[in-house]
Amino acid sequence: MMFNKMKLWKNQNNSSILRDKINKIKELPVPEHVAIIMDGNGRWAKKRALPRVAGHHEGMKVVRKTTMLANELGIKTLTLYAFSTENWKRPKNEVDYIMKLPEEFLGTFLPELVENNVQVKMIGYKDQLPGHTLRAIEKAMDQTRNNNGLVLNFALNYGSRLEIVDAVKKVIIDTQNGKLQSSELDEQVFSSYLMTAGFADPDLLIRTSGEIRLSNFMLWQLAYSEFWFTDVLWPDFSEEHLLEAIEVFQKRQRRFGGI
């Protein structure tokens, strides 16, 4: 009884600290587009002597918490790197498991996303995705199409170099068939050939798990983004960590080459 009361008090206390932090952060501009390389699921599981897939499952819960907080903070777009074009190199059982997670995640949380005005989107190569994975995402995109709160953008089977090469190919085709004059091609026009057409570039990139690299993520789009790295493994990433990253972002001075 005593223990329960103490636990309750602790939770309430924690949430009021969190609330204060959220309010403080909202006094300053928040990044409009936050992109996260959600890394470290496998190591999280290994530390607990669990199969790697247990880390992916745990990571899914963090996606929900992060989405809800991002929405509350007024972030416009949250892009989550969930599976790269290189991740097919992993053992089949792991890939199969990851490809089932969108169904599980959206099966549980889609009503909550709809209710909270979140719009689901996806960037990445759809063709290689299993039908069941794509159907789950397309259903979510369809049901949230008219929402105008946070855009929750999953990068699934996404790879930036291939994206750029494909954009170049489309540019060539459009110049050959007269849709585009080569003199019209500039950075903005080129951006419209990428999978992220219509999205602003990320203001803030977060990568968990202590790896300091991009792993083929948004090479073009991150040209002037602020980077925030943490050793925390994705399943351990909490609301406090997201708030910390945003606090750091708010203190950065972005110059874009100016003075």
Q: Interface residues with ligand IPE (CB under 6 A)?
A: 37-43, 81-84, 87, 98, 209, 211, 213, 215
Strands of 119-123's sheet, edge to edge?
A: 119-123, 151-158, 77-84, 33-37, 204-207, 226-229
Sign of CA dihedral 178, 184, 189, 190: positive
In b/e form, how buried is each residue of 52-64, taking b as 16+ CB within 10 angstroms? bbbbbbbbbebbe
Least distance in Å: CB of 207 to Mg ion? 10
Token pair belonging to 168:
């170049």
Q: Does residue 80 touch Mg ion according to CB under 5 A?
A: no
Residue 249 interacts with which of Mg ion, ligand IPE, none, CB < 5 to 8 Å by class: none
Interacting span for Mg ion (CB under 5 A) from 17-25, 32-40, 85-93, 130-138:
32-40
What is the three-class DSSP state of 162? helix
Least distance in Å: CB of 85 to Mg ion? 14
Q: How many residues bind Mg ion (CB under 5 A)?
A: 1
**13, 20, 23, 87: which is the annotated catalytic residue?**
87
Q: Which of 41, 43, 45 has its CA nearest to residue 56?
A: 41
**13, 14, 20, 39: which is the annotated catalytic residue?**
39
Q: Does residue 59 touch Mg ion according to CB under 5 A?
A: no
Least distance in Å: CB of 39 to Mg ion? 4
Report the residue number, 114 or 164, with the smaller CB distance to ligand IPE: 164
CA 72 – CA 22 distance, rounded (Å): 9
Least distance in Å: CB of 207 to ligand IPE? 8
Q: Does residue 163 touch Mg ion according to CB under 5 A?
A: no
Taking residue 198's Cβ as centre, other Cβ atoms within 10 Å add up to 10
Least distance in Å: CB of 125 to ligand IPE? 14
Residue 112 interacts with which of ligand IPE, Mg ion, none, CB < 5 to 8 Å by class: none
Using CB positions, name the residue nearest to ligand IPE. Answer: 42
Strands 226-229 and 204-207: parallel
Is residue 117 part of the annotated active site? The answer reads no
> Phi first, then psi: what are they for 158, rounded to 5°?
-105, 140
Choosing from 34, 39, 77, 98, the residue that interacts with Mg ion (CB under 5 A) is: 39
Chain center to CA of 50 = 25
Is residue 87 part of the annotated active site? The answer reads yes
Chain center to CA of 139 = 19
Catalytic residues: 39, 87
Binding site for Mg ion (CB under 5 A): 39
